[in-house]
Amino acid sequence: MRTAEIRRRFLDHFVQRGHTEVASASLILDDPNLLFVNAGMVPFKPYFLGQQTPPYPRATSVQKCIRTGDIEEVGKTTRHGTFFQMNGNFSFGDYFKEGAITNAWELITGSPDAGGLGFDPARIWVTVYHDDDEASQLWQKIAGLPEQRIQRRGMADNFWSMGVPGPCGPCSEIYIDRGAEFGPDGGPVVDEDRFLEIWNLVFMQYERGDGTSKDDYPILGELPAKNIDTGMGLERVAYLLQGVDNLYEIDEIYPVLERAAELAGCQYGKNHTNDVHLRVISDHVRSSLMLIGDGVTPGNEGRGYVLRRLLRRAVRAMRLLGYEDPSLPELLPISRDLMKASYPELGTGFDRISQIAYAEEEAFRRTLSAGTTILDVAVEATKKAGGQQLSGGDAFKLHDTYGFPIDLTLEMASEQGLKVDEDGFRKLMTEQRERARADARAKKTGHADTSLFRAALDEHGETDWLAYSTLETDSKVLALINGTAAVPAAHAGEIVQVILDRTPFYAESGGQNADAGVIEFDGGSAEVLDVQRPLKGLVVHQIRVVDGELTLDADVRAKVDPEWRLGARQAHSGTHVVHAALRQVLGPTALQSGSYNRPGYLRLDFAWKGGLSQQERHDIEDVSNLAVRRDLPVTATYMPLPEARAAGAIALFGETYNPEKVRVVRIGPGQWSIELCGGTHVESSSQIGPLVVTGESSVGSSSRRVEAVTGIEAFHYLAKERDLVSQLTEILKTPRDTVADRISSMVTRLRDAEKELAKMRADAVLSSAGALAANAEDLSGVAYVGTEVPEGTGGGDVRKLAQEVRGRLAADHPGVVAVAGAAGDKASLVVAVTKAGVRSGLSAAELVRSALGGKGGGNADMAQGGGVPADQVRPVLDSLRKLVGEAGGKA
């Protein structure tokens, strides 16, 4: 049963039982605690936490997930993967244990002909929390499971929480017995390889307090409503139903692995080290595809760094298998074709996705060259000083500055006879991560320990927030907080959080960035870095004291930067205008699902399938600028939520609103633009200034993103575009209106010339096959051909030449063909052995590894490797010639 079919059956099963099908959220959610969505319940957290009222009593979804904690284990086990899909069904105060168990049992044991998954009931085991007699009895009643196949476990295994104070509850896990060949009998408490977990049913009924570990926290009481949260690993179910041994061999992953093996000239299942590399490649290529599809781009921190690491590990694994050419153009389209049945946006957005991925591979290929040079210098310095170990600082520099993976540093240093101070490297990495986490905690206060903020709110009441009416206030310092402690004063250079009795600063919310500005006081000043609302009614400023000493109870002057506020107002009002333009051009279903704006810049996410055409982008821009030119009035009024909805106001998904009083921002007459919004805005649309759409892209399943600049930033953007066109007209000596055609013509001619040159080079190389075979050298009874190819010859042509020459050698006589060449500053080697040679005991893989000092991969009849300096091509061939002669003498 194909993975997409299992996915569809799961959703249909629960839709037929009254659940609302909810599309997968993006892998990126606005949650300060999560880098990526890592579980199926994450998009539903606001409902479980009581922060929002769920719009449906039951829901089902297949959620895209990324877990990065086990990247190093990928490929080594049957279970670890970075990207996975979590099937889930959820009940918000509706059904509970009996309904969850019934629904699960009917699906997993139901006949495939009737939409079920068809698992044999005799192979199913379950675990329950140690004192959950109710769940145990329900499994016996509903499923007829004997007591010996219902095992009890403690809190660490069968009691679920989010790891922080909040909802929790016992759970029941469903396992499939894979058979005696996978391990000992005795159920999951004995062996979780033989007994594989596929589904976890969480009975969310309690509230937990703070604790120190997974099984050490107090239960504070029962929740107002009992909820159900389940998670079924789609890939695990797939490999069980497809009769394969691990997740890398299922239909959505294995074809990538298979193609990687073909490119590298090796065979999956023959060599453990090669198999690990192939699994890493297949997993990381798919994970990278999904991340880029949801809007992540490679970078040096956060989500971007995870993506960069995945892409580079995949590329490096191909190189370790001996494949030197760009590999992602061969592999990424295969993964796209496998996944687009479930996620069509991967097909429509592939031009953007592939451009990002291929550019990253090319950059990493250059990084390997630069990093190798830096490593060689460090190794030489270490040896000159008499050292035996490369310092942790050098390893960290290679990693942090050049993106050089530590495992690559370890391998290459070892080849030169040195160890690496791994402990020193790990210490520096930990310090860097802690700094990053501290920065993140300092900027955001969501889900943090808010006890100090709560104490200030209880003592002083709500902040008098005046952002709508003024840019300056005379205020008093009510509290100063440095990390986790209240302090009496803050000195120059310190970063602290300050609470004022009143403030003109806009606190970040609704997609609008916080205001910038200063707080002045007697004898000094402080720069405002960020403004947040950790608790309802309380505004907290993060500041850096520039000079002087800021003390508790000090009288201060809080001043918003007027230019910053003007740019922010232009961008936020511009967001509303673009939203209205989207609906006018695309239709009323193009509704905003998220936004972000800062001075001069805005981005808006909206529900839509497929990319926008160039004409649609132009139309959206035209409608927006016509609204600016018409100088439409912008007004903000307050009214009850039902009245606002009746007036046609748009409420954004994911936002919570006070039903008794909401702020309605209207632009223009009637319902042209009317939204619930708490942001700051211009007085009329002409104050937005010019609006330029700068980009449009995919950010997830059925979701697109429009980016634009406004005001002076739009002028600057257009000026750069104008200057670029002027430079091109000067270089090409052509009028402005023909620049695009001229460049297109030049690119076409260049590509045609490159193709012709490549063909000529390949023809020249392959034309020599006959002469090379005719002049084969006899080495102790083995026909041997060893040759170099011109620099720049593609890896595919090198392999073809080796195969062509081998095919011209006598079929009944042992023969070895070795073709070597240089690509940049590295050499590569391909070896092909005739069938008669293989029968006589010759192995291409062994010859390559021996000639290259252990590098390379493949099988007995064809293998390849590389990584040695380009000037070593001739010594490598000489070494191989000697090896063949020695092997021939023994055969």
Q: Which of 244, 262, 290 is the last residue in one of the domains? A: 244
pLDDT band at 515 (very low <50, low <70, confident <90, very high): very high
Partners of residue 278 on adjacent β-strands: none
Strand-strand pairing, 601-607 and 634-639: unpaired
pLDDT band at 436 (very low <50, low <70, confident <90, very high): low
The pLDDT score that the predictor gives to residue 87 is 95
The pLDDT score that the predictor gives to residue 792 is 64
Concatenated DSSP letters of 178-204: --GGGS-SS-TTT-TTTEEEEEEEEEE
| Centroid of chain to Cα 399 | 20
Q: Which of 207-216, 438-447, 724-733 shows the lowest per-residue confidence on average (mean pLDDT)?
A: 438-447
pLDDT digits 0-9 by tens, 846-857: 888 888 876 777
Residue with tokens 């700051």: 680
CB within 8 Å of 68: residues ≥ 6 apart:
35, 36, 82, 306
Question: Rounded to whole angstroms, how far apart are CA atoms 409 and 375?
Answer: 8
Question: Rounded to whole angstroms, how far apart are CA atoms 291 and 700?
Answer: 9
Checking if the pLDDT of 233 tops 60, the result is yes
pLDDT, mean of residues 45-50: 80
CB within 8 Å of 248: residues ≥ 6 apart:
75, 78, 81, 254, 257, 278, 279, 282, 283
Return the SS3 of 403. Answer: coil
Number of residues that this document lists for the chain: 891
**Residue 168 assigned as binding residue:** no
Question: Rounded to whole angstroms, how far apart are CA atoms 485 and 525?
Answer: 22
Token pair, residue 396, equals 């960290």
Verify that 547 and 649 share a domain, yes or no. Answer: no
Verify that 203 and 297 share a domain, yes or no. Answer: no
The pLDDT score that the predictor gives to residue 653 is 47
Residue with tokens 């905003």: 592
Tell me whether residue 759 is in a domain: no
Q: Give the CA-trace dihedral at 712, 716, 719, 720, to 10 degrees.
A: -170
The chain-wide mean pLDDT, for the chain, equals: 87
Checking if the pLDDT of 449 tops 60, the result is no
What percent of the chain shows pLDDT beyond 90?
A: 47
Tell me whether residue 539 is in a domain: yes
pLDDT band at 433 (very low <50, low <70, confident <90, very high): low
Checking if the pLDDT of 567 tops 90, the result is yes
pLDDT, mean of residues 171-175: 96
Verify that 50 and 192 share a domain, yes or no. Answer: yes
The pLDDT score that the predictor gives to residue 246 is 86
pLDDT, mean of residues 315-342: 92
| Centroid of chain to Cα 432 | 20
Q: In this structure, are residues 822 and 836 in contact, taking their beta carbons and an 8 Å threshold?
A: no
CA-nearest of 92, 102, 101 to 223 is 92
The CATH number that applies at residue 505 is 2.40.30.130
Verify that 77 and 123 share a domain, yes or no. Answer: yes
Q: Which one has a higher pLDDT value, 590 or 407?
A: 590
The pLDDT score that the predictor gives to residue 465 is 94
CB atoms inside a 10 Å sphere around CB 352: 18
CB within 8 Å of 527: residues ≥ 6 apart:
518, 543, 544, 546
pLDDT band at 94 (very low <50, low <70, confident <90, very high): very high
**Residue 576 assigned as binding residue:** yes
Checking if the pLDDT of 161 tops 60, the result is yes
Strand-strand pairing, 219-233 and 485-486: unpaired
pLDDT digits 0-9 by tens, 629-684: 999 999 999 998 878 878 888 876 445 566 678 899 999 988 899 999 999 999 99
Verify that 405 and 263 share a domain, yes or no. Answer: yes
CA-nearest of 135, 213, 137 to 170 is 135
Domain ranges, residue 422: 252-439
Verify that 175 and 266 share a domain, yes or no. Answer: no
Checking if the pLDDT of 445 tops 50, the result is no
Query: b/e per residue, 249-285, with b = 16+ CB within 10 A?
Result: bbbbbbebbebbbebbbbbbeebeebbbbbbbbbbbb
The pLDDT score that the predictor gives to residue 78 is 67
pLDDT band at 441 (very low <50, low <70, confident <90, very high): very low
CA-based radius of gyration for the chain: 32
Give the side-chain half-sphere CA count within 13 A for 873.
21
Token pair, residue 501, equals 């009795």
Question: Rounded to whole angstroms, how far apart are CA atoms 623 and 583?
Answer: 10
3-state secondary structure labels for all residues of 667-715: ECCCCCEEEECCCCCCCEHHHHCCEEEEEEEEEECCEEEEEEEEHHHHH
Question: Rounded to whole angstroms, how far apart are CA atoms 331 and 357?
Answer: 11
CA-nearest of 556, 134, 75 to 268 is 75
Token pair, residue 440, equals 């993140």
Verify that 646 and 513 share a domain, yes or no. Answer: no
Token pair, residue 199, equals 């589904």
pLDDT digits 0-9 by tens, 581-627: 998 998 877 888 788 999 999 999 887 767 888 899 999 999 999 99
Q: In this structure, are residues 552 and 559 in contact, taking their beta carbons and an 8 Å threshold?
A: no
pLDDT, mean of residues 436-446: 48
pLDDT digits 0-9 by tens, 6-20: 999 999 999 999 999
Return the SS3 of 231. Answer: strand
CB within 8 Å of 281: residues ≥ 6 apart:
256, 257, 260, 314, 317, 318, 327, 331
Query: Counting beta carbons within 10 angstroms of the beta carbon of residue 75, is it exposed (0 to 12), middle (13 to 18) or buried (19 or more)?
Result: buried
Question: Rounded to whole angstroms, how far apart are CA atoms 554 and 480?
Answer: 11
Verify that 80 and 175 share a domain, yes or no. Answer: yes
**Residue 447 assigned as binding residue:** no
Verify that 114 and 149 share a domain, yes or no. Answer: yes
Q: Which of 436-450, 547-561, 728-742, 778-792 has the highest mean pLDDT?
A: 547-561
Q: Which one has a higher pLDDT value, 875 or 687?
A: 687
The pLDDT score that the predictor gives to residue 622 is 96
The CATH number that applies at residue 231 is 3.30.930.10
CA-nearest of 36, 700, 32, 31 to 306 is 36
Question: Rounded to whole angstroms, how far apart are CA atoms 595 and 676?
Answer: 13
Token pair, residue 157, equals 């295994």
CB within 8 Å of 374: residues ≥ 6 apart:
397, 398, 402, 404
Question: Rounded to whole angstroms, how far apart are CA atoms 286 and 283?
Answer: 5
Strand-strand pairing, 524-535 and 592-598: unpaired
Tell me whether residue 416 is in a domain: yes
pLDDT, mean of residues 372-388: 82
For 217, which DSSP code? Answer: -
Tell me whether residue 445 is in a domain: no
Question: Rounded to whole angstroms, how far apart are CA atoms 263 and 327?
Answer: 8
**Residue 277 assigned as binding residue:** no
Question: Rounded to whole angstroms, how far apart are CA atoms 796 and 264?
Answer: 10
pLDDT, mean of residues 86-95: 94
Query: How many angstroms separate the Cα of 130 from the Cα of each of 146, 153, 227, 229?
Result: 17, 5, 20, 19
Cα end-to-end distance, the chain, whole Å: 48
pLDDT band at 553 (very low <50, low <70, confident <90, very high): very high
Verify that 327 and 215 share a domain, yes or no. Answer: no
Tell me whether residue 838 is in a domain: yes
Q: Which of 515, 537, 560 is the last residue in one of the domains? A: 560
Q: Which of 306-320, 569-583, 846-860 shows the lowest per-residue confidence on average (mean pLDDT)?
A: 846-860
Token pair, residue 119, equals 């698992």
pLDDT digits 0-9 by tens, 139-154: 999 999 999 999 999 9
Tell me whether residue 44 is in a domain: yes
Token pair, residue 796, equals 């595919």
The pLDDT score that the predictor gives to residue 313 is 87
Return the SS3 of 773. Answer: helix
The pLDDT score that the predictor gives to residue 644 is 85
Question: Rounded to whole angstroms, how far apart are CA atoms 707 and 578?
Answer: 10
Question: Rounded to whole angstroms, how far apart are CA atoms 450 and 472?
Answer: 27
Q: In this structure, are residues 67 and 38 in contact, taking their beta carbons and an 8 Å threshold?
A: yes
Q: How many domains does the chain have?
A: 5
Tell me whether residue 758 is in a domain: no
Question: Rounded to whole angstroms, how far apart are CA atoms 190 and 183?
Answer: 9
CA-nearest of 134, 157, 429, 136 to 309 is 429
pLDDT digits 0-9 by tens, 690-718: 999 999 988 754 578 999 999 999 999 99
Tell me whether residue 446 is in a domain: no
Q: Which of 511, 533, 560 is the last residue in one of the domains? A: 560
Q: Which of 43-52, 406-415, 429-438, 499-508 shows the lowest per-residue confidence on average (mean pLDDT)?
A: 429-438
For 82, which DSSP code? Answer: S
Partners of residue 602 on adjacent β-strands: 597, 708
Query: b/e per residue, 534-551, with b = 16+ CB within 10 A?
Result: bbeebbbbbbebeebebb
| Centroid of chain to Cα 814 | 50
Checking if the pLDDT of 576 tops 90, the result is yes
pLDDT, mean of residues 374-390: 84
Return the SS3 of 594. Answer: strand
CA-nearest of 407, 413, 318 to 857 is 318
What percent of the chain shows pLDDT beyond 70?
A: 93
Checking if the pLDDT of 447 tops 70, the result is no
| Centroid of chain to Cα 886 | 51
Verify that 578 and 714 share a domain, yes or no. Answer: yes
Verify that 387 and 508 share a domain, yes or no. Answer: no
